[in-house]
Amino acid sequence: MEFKVLCPEYVKEFNCLGNSCKYNCCREWRIDVSNKEYEYYNALPSGEFKERIMENLVKTKTGYCWKCSETTGACGLLNKDNLCEIYINLSPEEMPYICRAYPRRISLIKDDIEVALDLSCIEAVKLLFSHKEDLNFILTDFDLIEIEGKIKCEHIMENKENNQDFYLYNHYEDLNSFCVKVLKYKKLPLDVRFMILGLFIQQIDSQPESIDLIIKEYEKEILNGGFDNIKNECSFKDVFVKQLKLSVNIVIIILQRYKAIVNNNFKIKKLLGDYLEQLRNFIDDYSAKTVESNFKIALEKYNQYMTTNNYIIENYIVNEIFTRKFPFDLKSGYNSYINLIAHYLIVKSSLLVSFYHYKDDIKLDNIIDNIMLLHRLIIRGYGTENSIIEKQAINYLEKNNSLDLISLFELIIE
């Protein structure tokens, strides 16, 4: 059924690649089946195909999932042509909800429906980076799946009784829109835009009853050049060393996570391709001096590339703000800001690995693969809770007393 939804423009362009997809989503991760869906399949008429379905359903704590091949990692109902047997033998509508909905992420914000795409899907990442213009949002008709007359939403924003949440709830559109505008303001470098965002969020947390006034003040200050010299006005110390240590720590976390995944599931090696080797070449068992040299080379190549392709990170972060409903995804705006910065630093650190590996030969496809793998196996989680790497990065920041604004600014300054 069609509904009016707010979504990034590229979402409307999405079409599943099906069996031609290099990173088939019917492989290498758990595909859940609800108890009601299990009951539906169990009630199918007896026959060979029903037997195949039931043989491939495995009980879990919350329902069921499809059994995957121990040799290929493929769902048991994926045929030799990489096509779904339920789609072929029953109908698209009789596939499990997760198979029909993925990679769409649906949220109910007040009375409005918002749709984003999960960047663990390679086609979603390609579409996000397919346009060099600013990422824009549209209100459009969108076909959504209903279950028993309801849309299944992963994020629902409802009003809260406490004072701060009341103000934030009633100003959601204004706040989210302003945050997007700040990050799109190309007259200022991206690091300065991040800094303005942090100052703004901190003030909103302390004065939630003055949101309208604060937004107007910041808009005026930005247009009048009030933040143009913000980097010179801050007292930063040992910026390179701090960025190096954090990036190395994040890359170690990523490498350890990938190693653990491969140890538990050797099929993932094929999915990872040469990225595991890229990680090892960047950091594994090297002296501190060698790692520092690798980091310098990667950072130089990254900065050179992004000078003429800055739309990649800008559109990525704007998309992330929309997807995570920033600054409403956590208990306070400042906590949301910390998580957003941690996320940005994780993505940047992961990309540095590929920039070191490919150097001047890096292509957009290499960046797309890097981000997709990071989302599919680390950020989205492979058998783990979402955002576990963000928590690990934030724990590192906390141990190093780096959660205040100036310390965060030191890590993002370019």
pLDDT (0 to 100) of residue 246 = 94
Contacts of 247 (CB under 8 A, 6+ apart): 295, 345, 348, 349, 352
CA atoms within 13 A on the CB side of 344: 26
Structure confidence at residue 337 (pLDDT): 94
Q: Which residues contact 351 (CB under 8 A, 6 or more apart)?
A: 302, 367, 370, 371
What distance in Å separates the CA atoms of residue 55 and residue 194, rounded to the nearest whole number? 51
Pairing of strands 112-117, 137-143: unpaired
**314-366 tens-digit pLDDT:** 999 999 999 988 888 767 889 999 999 999 999 999 999 999 999 999 999 99
Per-residue burial over 125-138, b if 16 or more Cβ lie within 10 Å, else e, is bbbbbeeeeebebe
The pLDDT score that the predictor gives to residue 384 is 42
Please give the backbone phi and psi of residue 65, each rounded to the nearest 5 degrees, phi first.
-150, 165
Specify the pLDDT at position 159. Answer: 56
pLDDT for the residue 263 = 67
pLDDT at 264: 60
Contacts of 194 (CB under 8 A, 6+ apart): 183, 341, 344, 409, 412
Residues in the chain, pLDDT under 50: 162-164, 382-386
pLDDT at position 358 is: 93
Predicted confidence at residue 255, as pLDDT, reads 86
Cis peptide before 92 (omega within 30 of 0): no
Global pTM reads 0.91
Query: Which is it for the CA torsion 297, 298, 303, 304, positive or negative?
Result: positive
